[in-house]
Amino acid sequence: MITAVILAAGEASRMGVPKQLLSYQGRPLITHVVYNLLRSQVDEVVVVLGSRAEQVLEVLTGCPVKVVLNCAFATGQSSSLKAGLAVLDHSTQAVLFALGDQPLVDTRTINLVLKRYQSARGIIAPYFMGKRGNPVLFDRFFFTEISSLSGDVGAREIIRRHPESLVKVDVTDRGVVIDVDTWEDYRTLLANPAR
């Protein structure tokens, strides 16, 4: 079993509004991320919410996802990683961490990462033109180490510690490196959709 965990608990302090709810092609950003994963071959989708959780939860009504509330979201991304891992089924063999502000990741790209995991256990990451993107898949072997992270540290710290376990999947999907952190990012997204 492979579970996708969407990290969508952040405050979006640089933007001042919940970026998960920004409109893109008539729908909130977070719904694009959710449906791209639901259309993929992952077995379940977990969404980790924190800041303005009630507002974000509203737009997810009816989506077949498991929602987890991260009350410690202000302490940094590691708390969301841990919140996601805490609700995984004991049969989960790997987790695919996705970002709630990356609406352009193609479902075919997600499936490529999943397929590569079947032949190469470890950490599987998509690369676009030499740049590592998201979502990134981690084998169960790393769950305990991810759970021990603290502060505003993401799973990239695990990649840094275990370069020998990293499997790169070259993709043509630039959506894996496009996220919305600033208003400029958002304007760029609206002006140049990847698909």
Vertex 122, ends 160 and 80: CA angle to 5°? 65
% pLDDT > 70, the chain: 95
Query: 10 Å Cβ neighbour count for 161?
Result: 11
- Lowest-pLDDT range of 31-35, 81-85, 113-117, 185-189: 185-189
Q: How confident is the model at residue 61 (pLDDT cuts 50, 70, 90)?
A: confident
| Domain-wise residue ranges, the chain | 2-191
Note the pLDDT tens digit of each residue in 12-58.
Answer: 666 667 788 888 888 999 999 999 999 999 999 999 988 788 888 88
The pTM of the whole model exceeds 0.95: no
Amino acid at 39: R
Q: Judge residue 76's burial from the number of C-beta atoms within 10 Å of its C-beta, 0-12 exposed, 13-18 middle, 19 or more buried.
A: middle
The rounded distance, in Å, linking the Cα atoms of 23 and 154 is 26
Candidates 3.40.50.12370, 3.90.550.10, 3.10.450.50, 3.40.630.30; CATH matching 2-191: 3.90.550.10
Q: Which residues on adjacent β-strands are paired with residue 184?
A: none
- pLDDT at residue 194 greater than cutoff 70: no
Section 77-93 average pLDDT: 89
Query: 10 Å Cβ neighbour count for 100?
Result: 27
Q: Is the preceding peptide bond at 64 cis, omega within 30 degrees of 0?
A: no
- Distances in Å between the Cα of 101 and the Cα atoms of 9, 92, 122, 163 are 11, 25, 25, 26
The rounded distance, in Å, linking the Cα atoms of 183 and 195 is 20
Note the pLDDT tens digit of each residue in 112-123.
Answer: 999 999 988 899
> Which pLDDT does position 167 carry in this prediction?
94
CA end-to-end span of the chain = 29
Q: Which residue has the tokens 């924190």?
A: 50
